[in-house]
Amino acid sequence: MASTGLAVRRIGVLTSGGDAPGMNAAIRAAVRTAQCIGIECIGIRHGYAGLIRGDFVPLSEKDVKGLTKMGGTMLYSARSQEFMTDEGRQRATDTCKYMGIDGLITIGGDGTFKGALGLADRGIKVIGIPCTIDNDIGCSSYTIGFDTACNTAIEAVDRLSDTMQSHERCSVVEVMGHRTGYLALNVGIATGATIVLIPEIKYDFERDVVSRIRTARLAGRTHFMVIVAEGMDPVHVVAENIQNATGVDTRVTALGHVQRGGPPLMRDRVTATSMGYTAVMLLARGQGGRIVAMDGDKVIDIDIHEALAMTKDFDHELYKMFTTLTFLDSKEADIGEPE
């Protein structure tokens, strides 16, 4: 297709913040879409830090071959202190202008979008793509990487469960989530965990941990799984308290960055591809200052100011379902009301 009629001629793409499975698939989709419709695509390495210092690499269809199935990000990712400042943002804007980059796709989470807003307010056409294993972006019902990360954690918890069963132990597993419990709750549901501790739900150690384990034990359970979202009480403390209060031999595992790696699963490959494609199409039409998002299974785009003001409601029904299913004695269930 000839480039005539396109609102942009050269665009940049960068990944920023914590990486997530599917980032590469989004880059690939953006590069291929751009090339197909006659837009030049520049890869910006090391996130906003690379944008400031001009760490650029031209990208064509050949450079992104086979990228759909690759974890990580071929463009590297970073959190730039300099870009947090007005001077840093101005320098990044100047670099865009100097390099003739008239559209920018930024792939990442909340921090990435705040940075994108700084550029949008300086006149750069920016499109954000939500990509974080935390699934904590207010404007999007789903973020790229969440499904793969959940499945990685699920596999690990299933393995731990086998050995906990053999030794009649309790396992306390810390999962990521960055101040939210979406990952922890979904992993807890999928693995049939005994207890999930998440920031959205206040808990009482005696009532919500000790007595649940005791109840489960009385009902015949011999091993226990406690999933803890990062940022809650330190897992080794939770484990020690469980062991002291119940006498159950307890072990700790922090899954950590293993949750961020590995080949993306279908949902993340397809979502990333759809979002990468949509982002380029928006720029081609001259639109900027927007975030591509999921509304259920539909890809939409939202004004960046509005998008950043949106918050995600915690799914209390999902938590209620978890507690209903895990309480062996439903009479003891105190599932509480939404906070």
Residue 134 a catalytic site member:
yes
Cβ atoms of residues 8 and 283 within 8 Å: yes
In the complex, the smallest distance separating the C-beta of residue 1 from ligand F6P, rounded to whole angstroms, is: 37
Q: Which residues bind ligand F6P (CB under 6 A)?
A: 18, 109, 132-134, 176-178, 230, 260
Rg (CA), the chain: 22
Sign of torsion over alpha carbons 320, 322, 325, 330? negative
Nearer to ligand F6P, 34 or 107 (CB): 107
Cβ atoms of residues 237 and 174 within 8 Å: no
What's the rounded Cα separation, in Å, for the pair 318 and 43? 40
Rounded to 5 degrees, φ, ψ at 252 are -120, 140
Nearer to ligand F6P, 25 or 255 (CB): 255
Q: Which two tokens stand for residue 146?
A: 């969440």
Nearer to ligand F6P, 50 or 288 (CB): 50
In the complex, the smallest distance separating the C-beta of residue 208 from ligand F6P, rounded to whole angstroms, is: 23
Rounded to 5 degrees, φ, ψ at 178 are 45, 75
How would you classify the pairing of strands 56-59 and 40-44?
antiparallel
List the one residue out of 114, 231, 216, 224 whose CA is nearest residue 182.
231
Active-site pick, 19, 110, 134, 147: 134
List the one residue out of 294, 291, 288, 287 whose CA is nearest residue 308.
291
In the complex, the smallest distance separating the C-beta of residue 200 from ligand F6P, rounded to whole angstroms, is: 15
End-to-end CA distance of the chain: 53
In the complex, the smallest distance separating the C-beta of residue 308 from ligand F6P, rounded to whole angstroms, is: 16
In the complex, the smallest distance separating the C-beta of residue 116 from ligand F6P, rounded to whole angstroms, is: 16
Nearer to ligand F6P, 39 or 196 (CB): 196
Nearer to ligand F6P, 106 or 215 (CB): 106
Active-site positions read 134
